[in-house]
A and B are shown apart, each in its own frame.
Chain A
């Protein structure tokens, strides 16, 4: 049996609009996106419209919805968190820390934690929020 084989000429030019769009998408993601850093706990922050931009040098502690704490790459107990918080280096004379707590975390537990941190001479706790433009 002899199959008829028709050789089609390949036109690269027809793919150019696709390549253009892909390049534009690439440039968009390069410019508009920022790299996600891996976090020790899965935390979805509460939304807020009144807030300030985050500063990099402040130590970040995590609190999940089920009450687990984490610092850097490992989960820690509340007691360990308090020990670490007590050892924080002051920034411009103030002991500042950042708390990235889940929106569903127990607010009463957060208030108790804030009280305990105040007793350790922590002067400011920054609660991480998600910008809410509403």
Chain B
């Protein structure tokens, strides 16, 4: 059976739709952020004083020149991690006091902190100054 019908050509103009899609695309490209934000939690406790001559505590100082000192001896980060790893193997609760000199960028402190966390060092304190007041993260 053949149905007779007139073939009418309806042309839909898609240009406005494409314009809108382009505008939407540009909008989402500009406002989108692909940064993965995370948080490094630091537990605070009230300051306690410790003597910086205490042999059972490792005093780590981050200096402006990217030099790290452990108990007043300049060492590299790799050496620091090796020494602390050995101390933590003996005593898992070995206390580490971490101090940053003025002018040390926060990135350096965070990098050392996360490397210490990776060593499973749970007793890390941030020291405020050389006189040795601290708060423990």
Contact = CB atoms under 8 A, between A and B. Distances in A.
Contact of A36 (B33, B44, B46, B47): B33
Contact of A26 (B25, B105, B107): B25
A89 to B, nearest CB: 17
Contact of A108 (B18, B38, B101, B133): B101
Contacts, number: 165
Contacts of A19: 14, 18, 21
A122 B8 CA distance: 75
A29 to B, nearest CB: 4
Interface size class of B (residues with CB under 8 A): 35 or more
Contact of A114 (B110, B111, B137): B137
Contacts of B128: 111-112, 115
Nearest to B127: A111
Interface string B5-20: 0000000001000100
A25 interface: yes
A51 interface: yes
A53 B38 contact: yes
A47 to B, nearest CB: 7
Contacts of A49: 114
Interface in B86-134: 99-111, 114, 117-118, 126-128, 133-134
B34 A33 contact: yes
Nearest to B44: A118
A33 B27 CA distance: 11
Nearest to B41: A126
